[in-house]
Amino acid sequence: MKKLFLALSLLMVGSLGIAASTHFWRGTVLKETQVKEKWGAEPFLEKNFKNGSMSQRAKMAYSLLQMKKEFKGLSVPNLRKKLGSPDGYYFSDTIPAYMIAQAQKKGEDSWQIVFMIDKDRKVKDIFVHKNCCD
């Protein structure tokens, strides 16, 4: 009987794991070199990012990726103070993401910078993710 319960539990845990891995492999994430190639490497300026258009933000994306260490550990409210209100969406609306490109028609891509958070809701990683559409 115990074996049956163990098998059922493992199945349940397995489903959870598969769903999690599906999520982690979901969507497209650009390498830093690809980000630089696509949008250049303008230095990150807080004020310009906060008030800038998507294309202005996009030009700073590469520099932001170079600043992961500085952003690591930052709380979500402090991130908002620094960069303004997030306007992108990645997996859940509790993960801050900032749009850097919006598709204008089908076949084009939308991109965003994601600030992945840990269980304490502090920044643990930054990456550029294809918001839409795979």
Side-chain half-sphere exposure of 124, counting CA atoms within 13 A = 8
Q: Which stretch binds another protein (CB under 8 A): 41-49, 55-63, 65-73, 94-102?
A: 94-102
Q: Does 131 bind another protein (CB under 8 A)?
A: yes
- Measured CA distances, 49 to 6, 53, 128 (Å): 52, 8, 15
Q: How many CB atoms lie within 10 A of CB 57?
A: 27
Q: Which stretch binds another protein (CB under 8 A): 34-42, 45-53, 64-72, 106-114?
A: 106-114
Q: Does 23 bind another protein (CB under 8 A)?
A: yes
Query: What's the rounded Cα separation, in Å, for the pair 33 and 133?
Result: 21
Using CB under 8 A, list all residues that contact another protein: 1-2, 4-6, 9, 12-13, 15-17, 19-20, 23, 26, 75-77, 85-89, 91-95, 97, 99, 102-106, 108, 110, 116-117, 119, 121, 131-133
